[in-house]
Amino acid sequence: MTPRAYASPKRAATAERTRQRLVRAAVKLMKSKAGPRSMSLDSVARAAGVSRLTVYNQFGSRRGLFEALFDERARRGGMHRMAQIMAGPDARAGLEQLIGLFCEFWSNEHSMIACLVGAAASDKELSESFLARNERRRRALTVLIGRMEALRGTSSQALAELVDVLFVLTSFAVFAELARAGRDGEAVCRLIKDLACAAIERCARSPAS
């Protein structure tokens, strides 16, 4: 008979503290002059004062380390609110809330994300992590657009194009470019919401399939 696995609360708490310690070490490395290039299981182990095996057991790979780092920044940035937004009864209001959430996140994490975006161009693992994260945003937009009463009867092609437009509008690249002109986060958010609204109205007027 196979012994029943026993999960010790104390052991789990210790593992979580170790994980948080490793994530903090990873964040510190990310903010160093070398930036994402300095990120490896070995470098995080040295920064945290643990063995490479400890880091491997927690994250499995460099990609897993990036995912944990993104999860930590998302938690700090309030991205857990997305679930509540998606569960709301009004899809149009939900879209505005989603835009506000991402604008707040892009604004608060601007320097870190800019650093990561720059490094992703030449870092395959980091680029793959970004693409996977971005697809979550695309899926959320697709769900909200599909629930909007004003778009009932709109052709599938027009809806797909609308999702593409909103996906671009809610990206960090667009936020950063609009903020570059001296706008604060709230001003950028208002502009993106206005552009999103215009895109939806235009789609609603498109011929039905």
pLDDT at residue 161, rounded to an integer: 96
Kindly state whether residue 22 falls inside one of the protein's structural domains. Answer: yes
**Do 41 and 132 sit in the same domain of this protein?**
no
Q: Quote the domain boundaries for residue 38.
A: 9-62
Instruction: Indicate the residue among 62, 92, 107 that finishes a domain.
Output: 62
Bigger pLDDT: 82 vs 11? 82
**Do 130 and 194 sit in the same domain of this protein?**
yes
What tokens were used for 98?
């989603």
Number of structural domains, the chain? 2
User: The CATH number of the domain where 29 resides is what?
Assistant: 1.10.10
Kindly state whether residue 92 falls inside one of the protein's structural domains. Answer: yes
pLDDT at residue 114, rounded to an integer: 83
Kindly state whether residue 156 falls inside one of the protein's structural domains. Answer: yes
Q: Band of the pLDDT at 69, cuts 50, 70, 90?
A: confident
**Do 93 and 185 sit in the same domain of this protein?**
yes
Give the residue-averaged pLDDT of 160-165. Answer: 96
What is the residue whose two structure tokens read 């960090």? Answer: 172
Q: What pLDDT, in 10s, does the model give residues 52-63?
A: 999 999 988 888
Kindly state whether residue 69 falls inside one of the protein's structural domains. Answer: no
Q: Band of the pLDDT at 194, cuts 50, 70, 90?
A: very high
Q: What pLDDT, in 10s, does the model give residues 94-119?
A: 999 999 999 999 998 888 788 777 77
Kindly state whether residue 194 falls inside one of the protein's structural domains. Answer: yes
Q: What pLDDT, in 10s, does the model give residues 127-160?
A: 888 888 889 999 999 999 999 999 998 999 999 9
**Do 192 and 108 sit in the same domain of this protein?**
yes
